[in-house]
Amino acid sequence: MPPTRKPNTSAPRTVSPTGVGYDGPEDGRDPRAQAGDTLTTPNGVRVADTDHSLKAGPRGPVLLEDFHLREKIMHFDHERIPERVVHARGAGAHGVFTAYGTASKVTRAAVLAEKGLQTPVFVRFSTVLGSRGSADTVRDTRGFATKFYTKEGTWDLVGNNMPIFFIQDAIKFPDIIHAGKPHPDHEIPQAQSAHDTFWDFVTLHTEATHHTIWNMSDRGIPRSYRTMEGFGVHTFRLVNAERETVLVKFHWKPKLGVHSLTWEEAQIAGGVDPDFHRRDLYESIEAGAFPEWELGIQVFPDTPEETFEGIDLLDPTKIVPEELAPVQPIGRLVLNANPTNFFAETEQVAFHTGHLVPGIEGTNDPLLQGRNFSYLDTQLSRLGGPNFTQIPINRPHAPVNDNTRDGFHQHAVHQGQAPYTPNSVDGGSPFPADWSEGGYVHVPRVVSGQVARTAPASFDDHYSQPALFYKSLTTIEQQHVVDAYTFELGKCFEQPIKERALTVLARIHADLCSQVAAGLGLPVPKKIKAEKVRGESPALRQIKPTPFPIDGRIIGVVAGPEADLRGIAKLRAALEAEGAQVKVVAPHGGQLVSGKDVEIVERTFATGRSIEFDAIVVADGAPKDGDFRALVMLQEAFRHLKGIGAWGDGVEVLRAAGIDPKAPGVITGRKANAAMAAETVAALGMHRAWDRTPLVRSSMV
């Protein structure tokens, strides 16, 4: 007779304050971790005094019997876990993914296929090279990892904000990361690529050229996580209900458009506000300006060659231009809740490229295949054992009944006697599921080949796509690429590395090479021809002719005790109606009061800095005493091509800062009225006054 006891099949839930399907306590607290208001030991014993060790007399030695002291210190000593070996610094948020249903023809994965289906998600954004405490705005790739808690199991899409990678084979990952991390002797520089070992590797190992030029473009210094594209990078295989397959590339398209910082802003933020991106994500969610992306796929026929228009789909250093294969929207992601606890959620979340659900498969991309080993493996040292899927943020929302048992940090109290399959002792349960029951069945594929350490010949093309990328950018963006290479290589010590870098740039574009060479004071390498590129891919440009929504954008209003508070209120109402926020900046903190009008000062001339504002407007009546901090704020914003404005005699403050009120992107008026608000909205929608560029550059030389 089989026993009557049944194994536990109830699915523990992720602690997410707003996630769909969440059934935990309203405030997101685990009642076992924090119940009641009384201070206790970890064992629940009420504590009478937590400030004094147990001593033999007020000046006497501390006693070993002080169990509270020992427990408190023991736990503190072990609070830190190893940081991620890459992507150590990050910030996360909860949200919801809603499928449009447009992918139902190509995949049976409900998360993508079922029209209107809402799936809770957790997204973690990150830099790659810096350690946990490093700055957000360094020039680097950004991680964009999404955990979908689907009803068919957890699916992780572990992507970046760039569609390509430095290497074509995972076996080289330790090499590129060792080269990119700080020098091992003195741990300099932190979190950035401007140093010899990075440039040594990427110029010797030229398959890195494509990713490197993306890093040197504005994509390497995003304005915000909310204004980044995301990419699955690899080609994946989707499987539909008829077992037909297609190859796809995943793209996240931000609702607010793709925008970046200027290099000077990024550098200032690194010192003034190292949490710039983390703060932006957190504050925009708190303000209700929920970050939003559309998920899209490029779809390719699943042919034996696994190529599209001659582009090898297994090569992670190649894109397929959107003009050749349009990105088809399949769903919408909204991030609507901040984590309750950074460590519990953002730090402990564990992504894995092998977390797939039926209807989504990987491909033979050798980079992806190696990742499928690495992400599981790394959690063993980072999270201390094989049971990390039981940590609340990692728990699937689908029922779990997995026959794994025991191990470090085992939290489940498993029932039954037969954690093996097949069994008769537990009545055969749990039972495997076949295709029709939603089982993950790999689509059969024929594989053959000689065992060798080798790669396809197409992987040898290292220059055609970097050349396409550079050619496709606007002139302004190209200039930023030139500036970035000049800065980064200018920080290198070894002359041969700089010279080698110029031989790489010569293959991309002659002008790029000659401008960087001039900046470095080196000759242009002889007899190297740039790659011939047919056509362009305008989709690669960030600067677009049409405006984007301005949700969560921040406008600073420079004011003071004599300022036109009524005008500020009017401007605020108009800008907030568009989803933007207004912050008053004044010489001192507290409030500004004029009759019945009151404005709270959110930044003073001491605490405010230009980088936190997307536009700055000077109010009528703002102080004209030439406070250098206010003037520097305006000068920086002007130099960073931000919207600048003034009404009434605020224009005098602009003039004192050396700003021509007639310069491009400078908005002036007699009063703060609807017209001024509309002009500010229009300026913010274009992100920057790009036509001010020549003026600013000429004054910088």
Going by the annotation, the residues of the binding site for heme are 84, 124, 173, 371, 375, 382
Which is nearer to ligand HDD, 317 or 478 (by Cβ)? 317
165 makes contact with ligand HDD (CB under 6 A): yes
Catalytic residue among 87, 352, 355, 640: 87
Q: Which of 28, 120, 130, 143 binds ligand HDD (CB under 6 A)?
A: 143
Tokens of 274: 């190292």
Which is nearer to ligand HDD, 163 or 621 (by Cβ)? 163
E strand or H helix at 249, and its extent? strand 245-254
Matching residue, tokens 């079922």: 114
The answer to whether 498 touches 489, Cβ cutoff 8 Å, is yes
Which is nearer to ligand HDD, 348 or 680 (by Cβ)? 348
Catalytic residue among 8, 68, 94, 160: 160
Which is nearer to ligand HDD, 2 or 174 (by Cβ)? 174
Q: Which of 245, 378, 390, 423 binds ligand HDD (CB under 6 A)?
A: 378
124 makes contact with ligand HDD (CB under 6 A): yes
- CA–CA distance from 298 to each of 164, 209, 317, 353 (Å)? 15, 24, 16, 19
Which residues does 304 contact at the CB level (< 8 Å), separation at least 6?
Answer: none
403 is catalytic: no
- Please report how close the Cβ of residue 520 comes to ligand HDD at its closest, in angstroms: 30
- Please report how close the Cβ of residue 220 comes to ligand HDD at its closest, in angstroms: 15
126 makes contact with ligand HDD (CB under 6 A): yes
Matching residue, tokens 């921040």: 554
Which is nearer to ligand HDD, 314 or 592 (by Cβ)? 314
364 is catalytic: no
Tokens of 675: 């017209």
CB-count burial class (<10 Å; 0-12, 13-18, 19+) for 303: exposed
- Please report how close the Cβ of residue 398 comes to ligand HDD at its closest, in angstroms: 21
180 makes contact with ligand HDD (CB under 6 A): no
- Please report how close the Cβ of residue 14 comes to ligand HDD at its closest, in angstroms: 15
Which residues does 92 contact at the CB level (< 8 Å), separation at least 6?
Answer: 122, 123, 124, 125, 339, 345, 346, 349
Cα separation, 554 vs 581, in Å, equals 5
Cα separation, 397 vs 413, in Å, equals 18
Q: What angle separates helix 495-508 from helix 510-520, to the nearest 10 degrees?
A: 160
Cα separation, 508 vs 463, in Å, equals 6
Residue of closest CB approach to ligand HDD: 143
Q: Could you tell me which residues are annotated as the binding site?
A: 84, 124, 173, 371, 375, 382
Return the ∠ at Cα 579 (arms to 573 and 583), rounded to 5°.
60
Which is nearer to ligand HDD, 45 or 380 (by Cβ)? 380
Cα separation, 219 vs 224, in Å, equals 11
160 makes contact with ligand HDD (CB under 6 A): yes
Which residues does 558 contact at the CB level (< 8 Å), separation at least 6?
Answer: 585, 586, 616, 617, 618, 619, 622, 630, 633, 634, 650, 653
Annotate 538-587 with DSSP letters as a single string: GGG-S--SS----TT-EEEEE--TTS-HHHHHHHHHHHHTTT-EEEEEES
Q: Which of 170, 285, 615, 616 binds ligand HDD (CB under 6 A)?
A: 170
- CA–CA distance from 609 to each of 137, 225, 273, 406, 659 (Å)? 15, 20, 9, 53, 17
Cα separation, 605 vs 616, in Å, equals 13
Q: Which of 21, 370, 385, 561 binds ligand HDD (CB under 6 A)?
A: 370
Which is nearer to ligand HDD, 371 or 498 (by Cβ)? 371
Of residues 26-45, which lie at the interface with ligand HDD (CB under 6 A)? none
Q: Which of 375, 388, 548, 613 binds ligand HDD (CB under 6 A)?
A: 375
Which residues does 451 contact at the CB level (< 8 Å), separation at least 6?
Answer: none
Q: Partners of 251 in the beta sheet?
A: 231, 296
- Please report how close the Cβ of residue 205 comes to ligand HDD at its closest, in angstroms: 14
233 makes contact with ligand HDD (CB under 6 A): yes
Which is nearer to ligand HDD, 370 or 456 (by Cβ)? 370
- Three-state SS at 601: coil
DSSP for residue 531: P
Contact string (CB under 6 A) for ligand HDD, positions 57-96, x = contact: ---------------------------xxxx--x------
- Please report how close the Cβ of residue 170 comes to ligand HDD at its closest, in angstroms: 4
The answer to whether 359 touches 113, Cβ cutoff 8 Å, is yes
Which is nearer to ligand HDD, 233 or 281 (by Cβ)? 233
Q: Which of 131, 245, 341, 374 binds ligand HDD (CB under 6 A)?
A: 374
- Please report how close the Cβ of residue 232 comes to ligand HDD at its closest, in angstroms: 8
Cα separation, 91 vs 137, in Å, equals 13
The one segment of 276-284, 368-376, 539-547, 560-568 that binds ligand HDD by CB under 6 A: 368-376
145 makes contact with ligand HDD (CB under 6 A): yes
Q: In what order do the strands lie in the sheet with 615-618?
A: 603-604, 581-586, 554-558, 615-618, 643-647, 666-669
Of residues 306-365, which lie at the interface with ligand HDD (CB under 6 A)? 316, 349-351
Query: Number of residues in contact with ligand HDD, rule: CB under 6 A?
Result: 26
The one segment of 53-61, 258-266, 294-302, 371-379 that binds ligand HDD by CB under 6 A: 371-379
Q: Which of 96, 110, 121, 158 binds ligand HDD (CB under 6 A)?
A: 158
- Please report how close the Cβ of residue 372 comes to ligand HDD at its closest, in angstroms: 9
The residues assigned a catalytic role are: 87, 160
User: Which residues of this protein are in contact with ligand HDD, per CB under 6 A?
Assistant: 84-87, 90, 124, 126, 143, 145, 158-160, 165, 170, 173, 233, 316, 349-351, 367, 370-371, 374-375, 378
